[in-house]
Amino acid sequence: MAGGRRAVAVSHLAPVLLTGTVALYMALVAFGNITDFDTNRAFVQHVLAMDTTFKDPDLMWRAITSRPLQDAAYIAIIAWETAAAAVLVVATALWVLRRERARRLAALGLVMVLLLFGAGFLAIGGEWFAMWQSKTWNGLEAATRNIVLAGIALLVVQLSPAAATRGKAGTG
């Protein structure tokens, strides 16, 4: 029986720790972008302006050089990061409390992270704005790391047994 309890404890600990790790990471990313606004603002500006790409005339019409639009995009990224961090912090707390809602909330937060780095950075930044062409302003490797972390966490969260939580789906 002790082995069974240990298995339940480990199956509960994995989603708690992975959700908490991504929550911490996203909170630090958002905090950094808020407190050191100009560092990553430059990144977003250069990616959107496409000023360090091959400058292929067939692609350059996509460039966004308007500073207000660039800033709006950056603020939207920070807002999304902050929201994802908040959702994941709450999900981590619910995992600790063994509430069934933890799984749904963790999945929501992790999908938010996957959308930000997958759709936002890989697809839109990497392909639409040709970020892959830039030697200086290329965030594809970092985006891929974030996708891998959030993707593994999402798999663990979704595959963790129901016994890892307490209460019914509608409670907690």
Q: What is the mean pLDDT of residues 110-114?
A: 98
Question: Hey, CA dihedral for 118, 151, 80, 44, is it positive or negative?
Answer: negative
Question: Quick check: 165 pLDDT over 90?
Answer: no
Q: Which of 11-15, 27-31, 146-150 has the lowest mean pLDDT?
A: 11-15
Cα 139–chain centre separation: 14
Q: How confident is the model at residue 1 (pLDDT cuts 50, 70, 90)?
A: very low
The partner residues of 128 in beta bridges, in order of sequence, read none
Model-level pTM? 0.90
pLDDT at 7 over 80: no
Please give the pLDDT value at position 172: 43
Are residues 95 and 16 in contact, defined by beta-carbon separation less than 8 angstroms? yes
pLDDT in tens, 23-58: 999 999 999 999 999 999 999 999 999 999 999 999
Q: Say if residue 168's pLDDT is above 60.
A: no
Residue 12: pLDDT band (50, 70, 90) is confident
Alpha helices in 52-164 (DSSP H): 67-96, 101-114, 140-159
Which residue bears the tokens 């029986």?
1
| Average pLDDT over every residue of 152-157 | 97
Mean pLDDT of 155-159: 96
For residues 144 and 161, give the distance between their C-alpha atoms in angstroms, rounded to a whole number. Answer: 28
CA–CA separation, 72 and 82 (whole Å): 15
Q: Is 39 exposed, middle or buried (CB count within 10 Å of its CB: 0-12, 13-18, 19+)?
A: exposed
